[in-house]
Amino acid sequence: MTTQAAASAGSDRPVSTWTAWGQWLALATMTIDHLTRYVLPAGWQLDWAGSSIGRIAFPLFAAMVAWHGLFNTRNPLRYARRILVIGLVAQLPYMMMPRASDAFILNVCFTLALGLAWGTWLRSLLARYLQGKLDVTLALGLGVSLLGWYVAGNWVEYGHRGLLLIPLLMLAFHQLHGAGEALGERLLAVTLAAPVLVVAGLMNSSDMAKSFTVATCLVVLWLAAGAHRFTPSVPSAMPRRLWLAWYPGHFMLIAAWLWASGGLG
């Protein structure tokens, strides 16, 4: 038994070994997506890589953020702020990437941070509701959060559906992990997992992209349902500095390459 598994045994927290694999896979698939989109010549006809392998990255990042925010941190909002700092550092080189539209868009770290903050807020409102605290504050809080989602969705990468994915994953993870043997609990868990797959399917236009996004969400839902216990330890854990620096760093390198090759001219 791994140290992490032993520490989690007997507690109500799931084993998070899979996230160490997820870090390597998320960075690799994201980088492949960005290289095929911004760096490699169009004549190489590698668009299929971004529409397939590249579609694994965002739902995987969202799943890891939702998982850690739900199970592995005492302060999800502080966790969201750390993600936001990475997004702030990455925003300038992100804005230098060639785009079909000149519209101002905040990078995916803002989507992840705001999605986690929203999911945490909704969980607090749900807890108040389950405690029978039905008052004006509850209704007002829900209304304000929905308004914030509607406004922010116009400014962040992956839009409204991207912001929605993390709260839905948090809800599904909680129910899948906590479901007992009773048929009613299992049916509720499956019911709450379904919206995750619907939103994942709506996030992309091509059938190939939809398939990879939905398949990624299916895998993380399966992990939450109990498969997390059987994930082996990763042979080489990702260095923390690499994990924190890769997103802004790889955009800086791509921007430097495009400038040197005349792609930003």
Tell me the pLDDT band of 261, cut-offs 50, 70 and 90: confident
Tell me the pLDDT band of 92, cut-offs 50, 70 and 90: very high
Looking at every residue in the chain, the average pLDDT score rounds to 90
What is the Cα–Cα distance from 225 to 134, expressed in whole angstroms? 31
| Residue 140 pLDDT > 80 | yes
Tell me the pLDDT band of 7, cut-offs 50, 70 and 90: very low
Portion of the chain with pLDDT greater than 70, in percent: 94
Give the pair of three-digit tokens for residue 63.
């799943």
pTM for the full model? 0.91
| Residue 134 pLDDT > 70 | no
Window from 4-18, 61-75, 97-111, 214-228 with minimum mean pLDDT: 4-18
3-state secondary structure the chain: CCHHHHHHCCCCCCCCCHHHHHHHHHHHHHHHHHHHHHHCCHHHCCHHHHCCHHHHHHHHHHHHHHHHHHHHCCCHHHHHHHHHHHHHHHHHHHHCCCCCCCCCCECHHHHHHHHHHHHHHHHHHHHHHHCCCCCHHHHHHHHHHHHHHHHHCCCECCHHHHHHHHHHHHHHHHHHHHCCCCHHHHHHHHHHHHHHHHHHHHCCCCHHHHHHHHHHHHHHHHHHCCHHHHCCCCCCCCCHHHHHHHHHHHHHHHHHHHHHCCCCC
Average pLDDT over residues 200-219: 94
Domain boundaries, the chain: 17-260
Decide if 221 contacts 191 (C-beta within 8 A).
no
